Amino acid sequence: MSMDFAPPKYAQVMTAIQQRIRDGEYAPGDMLPSETQLVREFGVGRTTVVRALQTLAMQGWIEREHGRGSFVKGRPESPAERVRPGLSTAEHPESAENIVSVARVPAPRHVAKLMGVDERTPVIARHRVTRQGDRVSAAETLWFPLEIALGTDLDKPDPLRHGVRQHLQAVKHLRIDHVTERLTARKPTKEEAELLGSSSPVLGVLATVHDPAGSVLLVLSVALPGDLHELEDVYQVS
Amino acid sequence: MSMDFAPPKYAQVMTAIQQRIRDGEYAPGDMLPSETQLVREFGVGRTTVVRALQTLAMQGWIEREHGRGSFVKGRPESPAERVRPGLSTAEHPESAENIVSVARVPAPRHVAKLMGVDERTPVIARHRVTRQGDRVSAAETLWFPLEIALGTDLDKPDPLRHGVRQHLQAVKHLRIDHVTERLTARKPTKEEAELLGSSSPVLGVLATVHDPAGSVLLVLSVALPGDLHELEDVYQVS
DNA sequence: CTTGCCCACTCGTCCGCACAAGTAACCGAG
DNA sequence: CTCGGTTACTTGTGCGGACGAGTGGGCAAG
């Protein structure tokens, strides 16, 4: 059975309006249709339209003025836009083609340090790649402490179709709370260079993923070829 | 008549709960009273309680789990701090030793694009270095549109002792509002390699600095040798 | 003991309605 | 002409009710 879940109506209204703003149909400064008009257009209750508009306002897409109307601000630029390679790596679904190898290996020095265990403690290393068309656009390694991987499929070479984060949540109720990322420029390791088919500089992302208590769920390292990737960040100055 | 306006009820509920979290009455991890209980306690409709709780959740005070309850996160922390090479470069004071050269040159393609002007439009290029002990730890170039530099000392090779940001503010009342940064890994240019004394990979930061109206005040490019620099970033997950 | 179902409880979403309050255009009295 | 009120719009807030869906404990059948 095709059980595709429809997103909630208020979210549908939000996406529709966001799309129109991006398309320029609603330009910055324009007044949006009134709540009543939107109610008619989308065939939903005012509660729903109001919730969509108020959420958009909180996210900075629009501005609402009591008695006048809602106006396009067109500047959804918020700290939410930051690229977060660490998190997206933990969330991305896997497929058979992008698993390179999964093995139990002694923890490399820098990984052991981040996990707070002794060097050479055995850990699970899960090597993957991401493809963009024909080319390998990223080489990723995820390291798991044994006690985390215990009872999960993280130590098996089968693809996790819902991603690592989902798997941890579903199988062991482990929740990701925060991520520490360290970014640097470096040469790819021999293995990475082979996978990427190039030894030009890479952006190295080393991320430590924690649960709410601060324990390390995994450490991950991503090598992003410099000629393929740019990380963008916009911020307000106090 | 003392017409003091009572804040809306949903806001009253929010502040009450926030207060209890701050006081420790609701400790992190605790389950909040259920919506129904809060309805009874505050004598308001469920709509109101739900709105309060959902807003608190969006602000990061609590977490709501479908079917289980609402839980104190006790973490109204703002989006985590991030290193911002772009801004600090604009703020750092200069000294005679770290000015390499200042000249009027045609805008390079990528700079012209960010400024929104034609390629080869003349701009002021200000080349600098940062030292760490004996070693040059960063090579920076700041490009200014002519109309910005006009009437300032930005086009003169004398060090700006209070930094570029201060100078713009003091001399022309120009205020920095936001910065867009693009990060990538690349090989240093010939000039950068010479200044840095190495041609190992660098972290390239290309930042566009805007005033409140969105006009570009300057574009700056920083080359950070990968073996000397790491950019760290911590963030909360949803 | 284990398994599977039921049920009470939780939050998620949505509706229709009501009234308050701010805004702006119109219109008539002066 | 100016002024002030009326009126038709807008958003802000609030209620009660309804149904859906996820969670977890209890309970009875196996």
CA–CA distance, B31 with B29 (Å, rounded to integer): 6
User: What is the rounded average pLDDT for all residues in chain A?
Assistant: 86
Is the full-model pTM beyond 0.95?
no
Does A11 lie at the interface with B, CB-CB under 8 angstroms? no
Specify which of A192-196, A234-238, B4-8, B74-78 reaches the highest per-range mean pLDDT. A192-196
Q: Nearest 5°: phi and psi at B169? A: -65, -45
Q: Which helix (H) or strand (E) holds B171?
A: helix B163-172
SS3 B59: coil
First to last CA, chain A: 52
Whether residues A183 and B232 touch (CB distance < 8 A) is answered with yes
Share of chain A above pLDDT 70, in %: 91
CB < 8 Å to B63, chain A: none
| pLDDT value, residue B230 | 75
**CB contact, 8 Å: B77 with chain A?**
no
Q: Is B236 on the interface with A (CB under 8 A)?
A: yes
Give the end-to-end CA distance of chain B in Å, rounded to a whole number.
46
**Which residue ranges in chain B fall short of pLDDT 70?**
1-5, 75-83, 212, 234, 236-238
Walk across the sheet containing A202-210 and list its strands. A99-106, A122-132, A135-145, A216-225, A202-210, A178-186, B231-236
Whether residue A180 and residue B232 make contact (CB cut-off 8 A), yes or no, is yes
Q: Measured at the alpha carbon of residue B27, what is the angle toward residues B22 and B31, in degrees to the nearest 5? A: 120
Q: How far is the CA of B62 from the C1' of D12 (A)?
A: 25
pLDDT value at A17 more than 70: yes
Residue ranges of domains in chain B, CATH in brackets: 9-72 (1.10.10.10), 85-225 (3.40.1410.10)
On strand D, nucleotides with any atom < 7 Å from a protein CB are 9-18, 20-24
Is the predicted ipTM greater than 0.90, yes or no? no
- Read off the pLDDT of residues A49-68 as tens digits, 9 standing for 90 and up: 999 999 999 888 999 999 99
Nearest to A126 by CA among A97, A171, A156, A85: A156
Model confidence band, residue A216 (pLDDT cutoffs 50, 70, 90): very high
Whole-number pLDDT of residue B2:
39
Q: Answer whether B185 sits within 8 Å of A186, measured CB to CB.
A: yes
Query: Quick one: pLDDT band at residue A32, thresholds 50, 70, 90?
Result: very high
Residue A87 scores a pLDDT above 50: yes
Residues of B whose CB is below 8 A from A237: 87, 176-179
CB of A183 within 8 Å of a chain B CB? The answer is: yes
A185, A232, A233 member nearest B185 (Cβ): A185
User: CA-to-CA distance for A49 and A177, rounded, in angstroms?
Assistant: 32
Q: What is the pLDDT of residue B83?
A: 62
Q: What is the pLDDT of residue A18?
A: 93
Would you state the structure tokens that stand for residue A9, as one six-digit string?
């109506």
Show residues of chain B in contact with A202, CB under 8 Å: 185, 201
For B12-77, strand residue ranges (E) read: 62-65, 69-72
Q: What is the pLDDT of residue A77?
A: 55
Q: Look at A26-40, A194-208, B223-237 and tell me which has the smallest mean pLDDT.
A: B223-237
Q: Is residue A46 pLDDT above 50, yes or no?
A: yes
Contact B234/A at CB under 8 A: yes
Distance, Å, A105 CA → C5 C1': 45
| Gap from B13 CA to D15 C1', Å | 16
Q: Is the pLDDT of residue A3 over 60?
A: no
Q: What share of chain B is helix, strand, coil (3-state, %, to 5)?
A: 30, 30, 40
What pLDDT band is residue A236 in, cutting at 50, 70 and 90?
A: low
Q: Do residues B122 and B107 touch, judged by C-beta distance below 8 A?
A: yes
Q: Please give the interface size between A and B, counted as residue pairs whose CB atoms are below 8 Å apart.
A: 114
Q: Looking at A88-97, A109-118, B119-128, B143-152, which range is the least confident one?
A: A88-97
